[in-house]
Amino acid sequence: MAMRFSENADRMDVRYVAGLARIALSDAEAARLQGQLDDILAFVGELKKLDVSGVEVTDVATEAQNAWRADVPIAGLEREATLANAPLARHGQFVVPKVIE
C-alpha cells in the first residue's frame, strides 16, 4: 500500500488558506503543515489520473426528497438556555469584540 506521489503536485499557500479558515498559525506550525499538506495534496492528486468526463456528481447523498416541514410555529429555547453557553452576554445579547471592517 506504499504510495508514490507525483512530483508536480499542487503546493498550497498554507497561510492564505489558514486565513480563509480563520486559524492563526505560528511559523513552526505553518512549516510543519506545509510539508504534511503537500504530502496529502500529492496523495489526493491521484484523483486527477482518473477520467471522469461525463460522470455526474454525487451532490446530495440521501435518497430523500423535499422533506418539508409545515409552516407551524413551536416554542424555542428558553433565553437562559440560549445564553447559558455564551462566552460573553449582555442585555440578553451575545457580545463580541469590535468588528474592524
Partner 1 sequence: MSADLHDLGFLEVAEALTQKRASSEELTMALLARSEELESKLNSLTWFNREAVLAEARAADAARAAGDNRPYLGVPIAIKDLLNVKGQPCTAGSRILKGYVAPYDATVIARLRAAGCVFVSRTNTDEFAMGGSTETSAYGTTRNPWDTDRVPGGSSGGSAAAVAARLAPAALASDTGGSIRQPAAFCGVTGLKPTYGRVSRYGCTAFASSLDQIGPIARSVEDATAVYQVIAGLDPHDSTTAARPVDDCLPNVRAARDLKGLKLGLPKEYFVDGLHPEVEQLTRAAVAQCRALGAEIVDVELPHSKYGIACYYVLAPAEASANLARYDGVRYGFRAEAEDLQEMYEQTRAQGFGAEVKRRVILGTYVLSSGFHDAYYLRAQKVRTLIRRDFDRVFARCDAILGPVTPSPAFRVGEKTADPVQMYLGDIFTANVNLAGICGLSVPCGFTTGGLPAGLHIIGPAFADARILQIGAAYQHATEWHKQQPKI
Partner 2 sequence: MNDFIASIGLEVHVQLKTRTKLFCAFPAHEEGDPNVAVCPVCLGLPGAMPVMNGEAIRQTVKTGLMIGSRIALRSTFDRKNYFYPDMPKNFQISQQAAPLCLGGAVEIDVGGQPKTIRVNHIHQEEDAAKITHLENSSEIDFNRASTPLMELVTEPDMASPDEAMAFLIALKEMLIYAGISDCNLELGQVRCDVNSSVRPAGTDLLGVKCEIKNMNTFKGIHRALTYELARQVEVLRSGGMLVQETRRWDDEAGVTLPMRSKEYAHDYRYFPEPDLPPVVLDAATVEAWRAELPELPAVKRARFIRDYGLPEYDVGVLTADQALAEFFEAAAQQSKNCKAVSNWVMGELLRALGEQGLGIADAKITPRALAALIALVDAKTINMPAAKEVFQVLFEKGGDPAAVVKEKGLAQVSDAGAIDGFAERAIAANEKVAAEFRGGKETALMFLVGQVMKLSRGKANPQLAAEALRRKLRG
Which phi and psi angles does 72 have, rounded to 5°? Answer: -125, 120
Identify residues 3-62 at the interface with partner 2 (CB under 8 A).
16, 19-20, 22, 59-62
Which phi and psi angles does 15 have, rounded to 5°? Answer: -65, -40
**Sign, Cα dihedral of 86, 91, 94, 96:** negative
Q: What is the CA radius of gyration of the chain?
A: 23
Q: Which residues of the shown chain bind partner 2 in the complex (CB under 8 A)?
A: 16, 19-20, 22, 59-62, 64-77, 79, 82-83, 90-99, 101
Q: Which residues of the shown chain bind partner 1 in the complex (CB under 8 A)?
A: 1-3, 10, 12, 14, 17-25, 29, 33, 36-37, 39-41, 43-48, 50, 52, 55-64, 67, 69, 77, 81-82, 84-88, 94, 96-100
